[in-house]
Amino acid sequence: MGTVALIDVDPQLGVELSDDQRGLARRALIAATSEVPAGPWEEPPAGYGPGNAYGVLVVDGFMLRTVTIGERTTAQLFGPGDIMQPWPTEDLPSPVSVEVTWTVVSPAILARLDDRLISLTARWPSVLRRLAWRASSVAGRVSLQVAIARVPRLEERLLLLFWGLAERWGSMTRAGMLLPIGLTHESIAALTAASRPPVSGALSHLSRDGLLCRAPDGWLLTRAGEERLKTALDRPDETLQEVRAAA
């Protein structure tokens, strides 16, 4: 276990501070960190440690939370800048069997936002406000994901998924938007509320048409794929309009 200065690993938290205040916050807001290797991961049953009700900030890496009800599975991806909070087991419907599992997609570093640290941020309300916004924005992305899952055509649904992920964690290259995450077909199926065989077929078609391709560092949404997506969003389709509104 190590430590990090929150303002160093996530400079956006301090953008509203003056240079002097940023320096003070940098020295004061030190968080304990833990490194999580790739593979299955079990969320601590008591949250992320004593006095740590706020959760953890993902400093590096990507983690996938999968929720299964019966034979239906969906998932949510967490990456740098996201705040992960303990799963509220008391909110689960008692008559229904719900399974929640975690997979570390790429080795992750988690910074604990414990009570001590949160109390210190009260000296800099803008930092506290940005942390609260980060926590609530995770729920907002769920709304976007639900809207995407309602798009009937699976190929367009996949393009929308990768567009949303690349907008947050990708980078622009000459060939298109590169998403540096090695998502498996099974994970992509869970993220789009689909089953794996159709997803594998749709990904094959998108790759063949040069729209969405595997890359050494993850996935590439090509410029042609972006144009295809723009064309789809311009159509007067109700579900696509919902995606536009949610974004």
Question: CA-based diameter of the chain, in Å?
Answer: 55
Q: Residues 160, 70: one domain?
A: no
Q: Residues 98, 39: one domain?
A: yes
pLDDT on residue 52: 63
Q: Residues 166, 242: one domain?
A: yes
pLDDT (tens digit, 9 = 90+) per residue, 105-152? 999 999 989 888 999 999 999 999 999 998 888 878 888 888 888 888
Instruction: Look at residue 144 and tell me if it is in a domain.
Output: no
Instruction: Look at residue 161 and tell me if it is in a domain.
Output: yes
Bridge partners of 232, per DSSP, are none
Instruction: Look at residue 139 and tell me if it is in a domain.
Output: no
Mention every residue, 6+ apart, whose C-beta is less than 8 A from residue 2.
Answer: 32, 33, 35
CB 59 within 8 A of CB 4: yes
10 Å Cβ neighbour count for 153?
14
Q: Residues 72, 162: one domain?
A: no
pTM greater than the 0.95 cutoff: no
Measure CA 238 to chain center. Answer: 25
pLDDT on residue 114: 87
Q: Residues 7, 116: one domain?
A: yes
Radius of gyration of the chain, Cα coordinates, nearest whole angstrom: 19
Q: Residues 63, 159: one domain?
A: no
CATH number at residue 80: 2.60.120
Q: Residues 182, 92: one domain?
A: no
Q: Residues 226, 170: one domain?
A: yes
Q: Residues 81, 176: one domain?
A: no
Instruction: Look at residue 186 and tell me if it is in a domain.
Output: yes
Q: At 41, give phi and psi (nearest 5°).
A: -140, 140
Sequence-ordered alpha helix ranges (H) in 6-103: 6-9, 19-28
Q: Residues 157, 116: one domain?
A: no
Instruction: Look at residue 137 and tell me if it is in a domain.
Output: no
Mention every residue, 6+ apart, whose C-beta is less than 8 A from residue 171.
Answer: 177, 178, 180
Q: Which domain holds residue 110?
A: 2-124
pLDDT beneath 70, residues of the chain: 44-53, 87-96, 235-247
Q: Residues 81, 166: one domain?
A: no
